Structure formats: C-alpha cells, structure tokens
Structure 1
Amino acid sequence: MSRIIHIESLAPKYVYSTDQIIEAADSLWLKNVDEMTRRKAIKIFKGSNIDFRRAVVPLEIAFGDLSFEEKNNIYMKEMIAYGKELLSNAIKNSGIEPTDIDYIITTSCTGIMIPSVDAYLVNELGLRGDIVRLPVTEMGCAGGTSGLIYANDFLKANPGKTAVLLTMEIPSITFQKNDLSAENLVSTAIFSDGFSCAVLKGGEGPGAHIIDTDMYHFHKGTYLMGFNLTNTGLKIVLDKDVPSTIEGNFEKIFLPFLERNKLRIEDIEHYMFHPGGKKIISMVENYIAAYDKDISESKWVLENLGNMSSATILHIFDRVSATRDIRPGDRGYMLAFGPGFMAQSILVEWR
C-alpha cells in the first residue's frame, strides 16, 4: 500500500471577500446588464455561503473581456510559477530531496498547456531524468482523488518509491463576461483558484495509509458537468440536476464501499467530502449528522476558500490534519465528484 506523508497548500496572491467581488462585478461587468440579471447575480453570490475567494489575477483582469489566447497565456505563466513554488515548499517541508521523486502527477482542468506543467518542473527543480510523469487534465473536481488513486496504484506496484501529486486550478480565468446564463453566474460565485500538493511513499511507515479506492460511474451523466471549448475560452457546464443526481445516488456510492471494507458509517472518524456547492454540502451534512459525524473541515474550506476544483480535497485533508487530534488507527473517508458523471472514494488509516 501507499501512504500520504505530507500535504502542502499554497495560497494565490489575491483574496477577496464576497462584498468586494460584488462591488467589482458591479463596476466592471454588471453595470452593463439589465437590473433583473444584476439582482440575480448578486443573490447567487450572497447565497453561495462562501465568504472569501482567491485568485492569481486581480478582479479587473478576471472580470475583463479577454480572448481565449490571453486567458490561456495567464494560465500557463501562473501554473509554472505557482507549480515551482508549491513543489519546492513540499520538498522542503516533507524532508525529501528533488531526486527522491519517482512519479509526478499533476491535475488541472482550467486551461491547456503542452508540454504540461510537470515538464517545466522537472527542468526548474532538477528532478531526475527517469521520472514518470502523468498529467491529468479532464477529471474536474474529482482530479484530486483521481491523482491519489493513480499514485496509490503506482506505489503498490513499486514499494519504497516516492510520488508527488500537484492539484492546480485557476478557474478565475474561465469567466465568460458576455454569458448571463445561470451556469456562468453560479460557477463565478462558487469557484476559486487553489494549489495543493501531496507527497506519498510506498510501503510501511508513518502517514495516512491508503487502504482502498473506488471509482463509480453514473450512466448517461455526461451532460451534468464539464467545459465547452469556445472562442472566448472554457465555458462551464454545470447542470441543475447535479445536486439531485448526487443525492439520489449517494448511498449507492458510499455504503457499498464501506461494507466491502467491513466498516459502518460510525467506524470512520474523519469524513472529507468535496463541497461542490451549498446544496451538495448541506445534503451530505444532514445525512452524516444522523450518525453523529460532521464535515466541518469541508464546510470551512468551502466558506473560506471556495470550490477549487481538483485542489479542494487536498485542502480539506490538510485542514483535517491541522485541526483534529488524529490518533494511530483513525480512519478517514474521502469522496469527490467529477465530469462523466462519476464519484471517487478513498479510505485511509493513520499509522
């Protein structure tokens, strides 16, 4: 098996409160729309239950009328800069050396770059020439759990080796200024830039050991979530059926996975759910509270950092590690949803 030995998070340069975002939207964007749409947008922002969001660019750029080329150039530049800082910090704070890394996975769905950011990091940080690279680009919000699952599979086959997973998302530059659809308004309200890195090792030792993983695919769900590639960039696909689809299938994902590991809901000490938005997190919270369990860290991350797509689940893991009294033998359950439509589960045990 493999084990997570360190999580490193990196905050983007700019942080804005909801009130600041509404004020900027009013002056840069909403002033040109009809009053009904303006009120609808403000209501969505205020009703998101998100207090702060972060971005790699100031709001006047995020809300600007940029071409796809301009947006993607920002994406490439910032991915390299933040990726270098993030991985450098993870190497330093986890106690490994750059040459210790055997496998590098990068997840991102908010831009396009070829070669992928991991190729630049190999050169910038002096990683080994025989390192194995895996860029994961189309898993959306489930990219963080996908990366952990792929790292676990590699390390199970290669015990004693080291993997790093970088989850890096810049949704601020996917904003569509002339799209007044509910999808664009909601995505603008809930998504936020974020970067996080997990360091994993194979074999026994201290850390959060990955005990089991699972990917569950919903048939005929491709319409629910994703991006359309347009002349003005990546246009969000976020269907109104997403919350009801998750709620209707939640037990089919959750309970069989625990049962095959001979566990009940009560046996898990630490729950880490990707908070897609207010409706989804409320549904999960109400369900889990019936078993005297809570998802306070997932709620905190959504309220204070927003939905950072694939980077969110590692931020939640980092928050759990920093704020809870975790003891040897404690178990954690991670769940995230992504385009396809799919759900991914991970069971960990701290040792």
Structure 2
Amino acid sequence: MSHSAILRSLQTIVPDTELRQDEVRDVFAAQPDLGRLAQRIVTASFNGSGIDTRYTVLDELSLISDAESPQFYDRASGALLSPATKVRNEIYVREAWKLYVDAARRSLESDPDITAADITHVITVSCTGFYAPGPDYEIVRALGLADSVQRYHLGFMGCYASVPALRAASQFCAADPDAVVLVVSVELCTLHLRSSEDPDMIVATSLFADGAAAGLVTARKFVSAVPGFALDRFHTGIIPEGKKDMAWMIGDEGFEMILSTAVPQLIGDHIFDALRPLYADRAELATAFDDGTIGEQIAHWAIHPGGRSILDRVEERLGLSEQQLGPARKVLRQYGNMSSATVLFVLRRILEQEGARDGDRVAAMAFGPGLTAEAALLTVVAPT
C-alpha cells in the first residue's frame, strides 16, 4: 500500500472494582479444599506475578460487597464459589456491552476529525464471552453508526487477538482508501476465575483481569495532526511445541485456561524464528536482529505482558533494556493480564507516557493459544 494505515485515538478503560493482589491472594490461599502444596503454589504465583492491582466487573470480588445471593464469593463464609458457564456468560452479556460502547465512544469523542458518520467498519475482539446480536451490533446502534457499517468479530483467539484485528483493519484500509475502522477489544477474564489445585489454573488466577480498549484505523488524511502509530508490517509465527502448553477451552464451570510453566522457556527458545520474518525486508533491522542489537534499532517494545516471567525471557533473549520493557511491566503491575486488550494498553502508554517521538520504531508482540506469536512493526506518528 502506498500509505500505511494509522492507529489513532487509542483509548483504554477498566471496570470500577479494584482488586488488590495481596488481598485476593489471601482469599484464594485460604480456601478449605486446598492442600498444602496448592496453598504454597497460590502464594508463590500471586507474589511473583508482578501485579499490584487488577480490575473486575464482579463487585463481589471487592471483598467488601455484601451480595444477598453471591455467585462468585460468599463473604460470610470466605468461600469462593464456582458458578456454571451459563451464569458466567450471562454476566458477560450484561456487563461487556457497556465497556464496548464506552471504549468505542471515548475513542470517537477523543478524535478531533473523525465522527460516527465516517466509520465504515467495526472489528470487535473478545475471548471471554459470547452472544448475538453481539457487541459489534451494540456499538453500531448505541453510537449511531450507519446500519451499513461492515461488522466483524474476532472471538476466542486469546491474548494475541488485537494484533490480527489491527492487521485486518489495515487491510481494509488498503482495499478502500476511504475506510475508517473502529477496533474495540473487551475482555472480562475474571468471570472465569475459580479456586483450583491445578497449578496451571492457579497461575491463570494470579494473572487475569478485565479491561477494554478501542482505537481508529484509517489511511485517510484529515485536517488535524493526531498522534498515533503507522501500521507498517505484521507477521504470525507458530511455536507448535507449545500447543499443549497454552490453550483456552470451554468447561462446565467457565472457560478453562491452560498456561503451563513451560511457556516462558518456549517463547525464549523460539522468539527469533517467530520474529525474524517481520524484519526480513529491512536490511538494517534484519542485521540488527541477527547480531543482537535489535534493541538499538527499535526504540519501543509493546510486548503483551502474559506474565512477569515471559517479559523476563523476552528481555533476556532479545537483549532489550529494562526501560524498553518498562511500559509492559507497568501495565502488568497496574492492570494485570487483560488478555487481548492488554497490548493496546501498552501501546497507549508508549505513545502518551514514554517520550515517544515522531518516527520512532515500535515492535508489538502478543502470545496466545497455539502457541501463536503475533507481531507487528509500527512507527510513531507524533506531529509537533
């Protein structure tokens, strides 16, 4: 394409209920059905998570709520409950659309030029609930978009899904120079948390949180100079050895995350193979990638913080600085792992709080079931 599509007006939101990691740890560790080993794993997982706070749509989990008919946490007994998948999904239906509409509205309202009438496509992203007519429909009706807006939903892909959503948006813009694509990710991961003795489930419980993000993607030229990211190039890599180590299944008591302790090692072992094609057509980047100086060529790294150990391994293998992984670590510490929405939180932080300058290169990367690594090469657009 002659001009890269630009991601602009990126906005992020979280629900009102804040979870303090140490308080949630104590509740999970105190469950009477846990054996001593599981209690130790809970303590270690929560303490080593790199998270201070998370957010949830479940008021019950605030630990101060006195719900008359608790579904997830009975404060009186201190017991964590395990509702059926149908109950969890009904809460998703009730709560998710508000975040979809709110995030989408904020993105539109923050843009000085783009209005509802300009939107040609809507892409919604989520892996934590289902319903139809879905969030894409809700956004069109609530924001007054044209009924003819093309709607797409990327569902159940896991933590990496916002990257293919941005790729699809850029492809729409390549096909139609007048396209303006609204991309919205909403994940309510806490709906699927529950007490367990399974180490993988315990790790997931210590990490996942709720959040939403939205942005506008277009190659159109507007009057105002708006900061954002040029979407230059995308690549999908697969680490087949990790298929069994990261998965997302539907069970009778919620969706079930498989997130084994082998994932950071697998990512570290294969990250060069997964990323090399992204830089293949740019000689200076390809050379830097192979000689270990890629961190000097690419200023900012929007790595999905799937967990602290994943960030540690990426930093070590790619020879990145502590500062380059700072945005991902700060998002993890403040918000936890919000699945597909998280990398958009990291990108927003890079643009607004990390001193990004016009022309700076950005590498974005997210990991999910498969084991799939989705990567993107971006350029900061920061008009002065």
Task: Decide: shared fold, TM above 0.5.
Answer: yes
Q: 1:66 aligns with which of 69, 83, 97?
A: 83
In structure 2, what is the Cα distance between the partners aligned to 1:202 and 1:230? Answer: 42
Tell me if structure 2 keeps the 8 A contact 1:110–1:170: yes
Distance 1:290 1:143, change over 3 A: closer
Question: How many Å apart are 1:37 and its aligned residue?
Answer: 2.0
Tell me if structure 2 keeps the 8 A contact 1:139–1:146: no
Q: What is residue 375 of structure 2 aligned with on the other side?
A: 345
Pair 1:328 & 2:331 matched: no
Question: How many Å apart are 1:220 and its aligned residue?
Answer: 5.2
Tell me if structure 1 keeps the 8 A contact 2:208–2:338: yes
Q: What is residue 331 of structure 2 aligned with on the other side?
A: 301
Please say which of residues 288-297 and 47-56 is displaced more in the overlay: 288-297
Q: 2:245 aligns with which of 210, 224, 231?
A: 224
Pair 1:248 & 2:269 matched: yes
Percent identical residues? 25
In structure 2, what is the Cα distance between the partners aligned to 1:138 and 1:106? Answer: 11
Q: 1:109 aligns with which of 127, 132, 141?
A: 127
Pair 1:8 & 2:11 matched: yes
Alignment of 1:227-306 (within 5 A): 227-262=248-283, 263=285, 264=288, 265=294, 266-289=296-319, 294-306=324-336
Alignment of 1:22-41 (within 5 A): 22-26=25-29, 30-41=31-42
Name the SS of the counterpart of 2:26 in structure 1: helix
In structure 1, what is the Cα distance between the partners aligned to 2:318 and 2:221? Answer: 31
Structure 2: gaps spanning 5 or more residues: 64-71, 74-79, 289-293
AA of the residue aligned to 1:54: Y
Pair 1:131 & 2:149 matched: yes
Distance 1:347 1:24, change over 3 A: same
Question: How many Å apart are 1:26 and its aligned residue?
Answer: 4.8
Tell me if structure 2 keeps the 8 A contact 1:176–1:235: no
Q: 1:18 aligns with which of 9, 17, 21?
A: 21
Structure 1: gaps spanning 5 or more residues: none
Question: How many Å apart are 1:279 and its aligned residue?
Answer: 1.3
Tell me if structure 1 keeps the 8 A contact 2:238–2:274: no
Q: What is residue 201 of structure 1 aligned with on the other side?
A: 218
Name the SS of the counterpart of 1:194 in structure 2: strand
Please say which of residues 100-109 and 11-20 is displaced more in the overlay: 11-20
Name the SS of the counterpart of 1:16 in structure 2: strand
Name the SS of the counterpart of 1:31 in structure 2: coil
In structure 1, what is the Cα distance between the partners aligned to 2:370 and 2:20? Answer: 32
In structure 2, what is the Cα distance between the partners aligned to 1:290 and 1:158? Answer: 37
Alignment of 1:49-198 (within 5 A): 49-58=50-59, 59=61, 61=72, 63-95=80-112, 96-177=114-195, 179-198=196-215
In structure 1, what is the Cα distance between the partners aligned to 2:133 and 2:154? Answer: 12
Distance 1:293 1:32, change over 3 A: closer
TM-score (norm 1): 0.93
- 1:194-248 Cα offsets, whole Å, 9 max, x none, are 1111111124565311111111123354322222212112111223322121111
In structure 1, what is the Cα distance between the partners aligned to 2:168 and 2:376? Answer: 12
- How many pairs were matched up? 348
Question: How many Å apart are 1:22 and its aligned residue?
Answer: 2.1
Question: How many Å apart are 1:289 and its aligned residue?
Answer: 4.1
Name the SS of the counterpart of 1:213 in structure 2: strand
- 1:11-41 Cα offsets, whole Å, 9 max, x none, are 21111111221233356xx133233322321
Q: What is residue 66 of structure 2 aligned with on the other side?
A: none
AA of the residue aligned to 1:91: L
In structure 2, what is the Cα distance between the partners aligned to 1:296 and 1:136? Answer: 29
In structure 2, what is the Cα distance between the partners aligned to 1:203 and 1:269? Answer: 27
Question: How many Å apart are 1:287 and its aligned residue?
Answer: 3.3
Tell me if structure 1 keeps the 8 A contact 2:243–2:369: yes
AA of the residue aligned to 2:145: L
AA of the residue aligned to 1:36: L
Tell me if structure 1 keeps the 8 A contact 2:302–2:328: yes
In structure 1, what is the Cα distance between the partners aligned to 2:143 and 2:165? Answer: 21
In structure 2, what is the Cα distance between the partners aligned to 1:160 and 1:240? Answer: 46
In structure 2, what is the Cα distance between the partners aligned to 1:241 and 1:40? Answer: 16
Tell me if structure 1 keeps the 8 A contact 2:178–2:220: yes
Cα RMSD for the two superposed structures? 1.9
Question: How many Å apart are 1:292 and its aligned residue?
Answer: 8.3
Please say which of residues 81-90 and 304-313 is displaced more in the overlay: 81-90
Tell me if structure 1 keeps the 8 A contact 2:29–2:43: no
